[in-house]
Amino acid sequence: MSFKDFVLKGNVMDLAVGVIMGGAFGKIVDSLVSDLINPLLAMVIGKPDFSSIFATLGAAPAGYAGPQTYEALKKGGANLLGVGAFATVVINFLILAFVIYLLVNYTQKLTAKFAPPAAPPSDEVLLLREIRDNLKK
């Protein structure tokens, strides 16, 4: 099998399209969470940003004089427990999982709608069912 035959197989191409679409969809979900959902949740819980929820484990690095924000301390080499960053990732995952659930659910309904009707049972099956029902009486 040549490389060209391998690449042009249906499964490989489907996987490539899935990975590309997944990356683009991940960016959409990240934007949804960071630009729409986080500000609404922040408004409810009173925090301006989830990334501001962190704990410093130990002292700041020696000679660090920058701002005391998560991003700045992380770049400065501080040992941080990023609860807010983790919460953002969990929210992204839950939203992504929910959207994928909706897509799969919709696809299954659409597929069932256009699926051919089941074939009627054969005469033998109908006769066996009738015998079974008569034996139950």
**Tens digits of per-residue pLDDT, 8-45?**
776 777 888 889 988 888 888 778 877 887 788 778 87
Dist CA 72 CA 78 (whole Å): 9
Q: Cα 88 to the chain's mean position, in Å?
A: 13
**Tens digits of per-residue pLDDT, 84-121?**
888 888 887 888 788 888 888 998 898 888 878 888 99
pLDDT at 79: 87
Would you place residue 127 in the very low, low, confident or very high pLDDT band (cuts 50, 70, 90)? very high
Dist CA 12 CA 19 (whole Å): 11
Sketch the domain layout of the chain as residue ranges: 3-136
Q: Which CATH class is domain 3-136?
A: mainly alpha
Dist CA 85 CA 53 (whole Å): 8
pLDDT top residue among 134 and 13 = 134
pLDDT at 10: 67
Statement: residue 48 has pLDDT above 60? no
pTM, rounded to two decimals:
0.57
**Where does residue 49 rank: exposed (0-12), middle (13-18), buried (19+ CB within 10 A)?**
middle
Strand partners, 55: 81
